[in-house]
Amino acid sequence: MLSQAFDALTAAPNDDDLFPFLQGHAAGLGYADVHFAVFDRLDDPKNAQRVIQTTLPQAYRVAYHAARFNRDDPTLRRAAVQQTPFGWYDCPELDQARALRRGRKPVARRMLDLAAAYGFVDGMVVPTHIVGADNIRQVGMVSLYRRAPGCPDLPCWFRFLCQMLHEQAVPCPAAAGGTRADPVLNDRVRHCLHWAARGKSRSEIAVILGVSHATVDSYVRDALDGLDAVNTTQAVARAIRGGLIFP
The last residue of one of the domains, among 119, 136, 169, is 169
- Is 20 contained in some domain? yes
* Whether residue 213 sits in one domain with residue 134: no
* Whether residue 232 sits in one domain with residue 122: no
Residue 134, C-beta contacts closer than 8 angstroms, at least 6 positions apart: 175, 176
State residue 134's pLDDT score. Answer: 58
* Whether residue 138 sits in one domain with residue 104: yes
State residue 213's pLDDT score. Answer: 93
* Whether residue 159 sits in one domain with residue 198: no
* Whether residue 79 sits in one domain with residue 33: yes
Q: Report the CATH number that the domain containing residue 21 is assigned in CATH.
A: 3.30.450.80
State residue 195's pLDDT score. Answer: 92
* Whether residue 219 sits in one domain with residue 146: no
Reduce the DSSP state of residue 129 to 3 states and report it. strand
Q: What is the pLDDT along the chain (247 residues), one digit of tens a residue?
A: 556 556 655 555 455 677 888 899 899 999 999 999 988 765 555 556 788 899 999 999 999 999 999 888 999 989 988 989 999 999 999 999 998 877 788 999 999 999 999 999 999 999 998 876 556 678 899 999 999 999 988 988 888 889 888 887 766 544 434 445 567 899 999 999 999 988 899 999 999 999 999 999 999 999 999 988 888 988 888 888 778 888 7
Listing DSSP states for 208-222 in one string gives HHT--HHHHHHHHHH
* Whether residue 214 sits in one domain with residue 131: no
Domain count, the chain: 2
Query: How distant, in Å, are the alpha carbons of 9, 126, 167 from that of 12?
Result: 5, 21, 13
Task: Give the distance from CA 156 to its chain's centroid.
Answer: 11
Q: Report the CATH number that the domain containing residue 234 is assigned in CATH.
A: 1.10.10.10
State residue 121's pLDDT score. Answer: 97
- Is 17 contained in some domain? yes
Domain housing 133: 12-169
State residue 9's pLDDT score. Answer: 55
State residue 13's pLDDT score. Answer: 47
Phi, psi of 98 (to 5 degrees): -70, -20
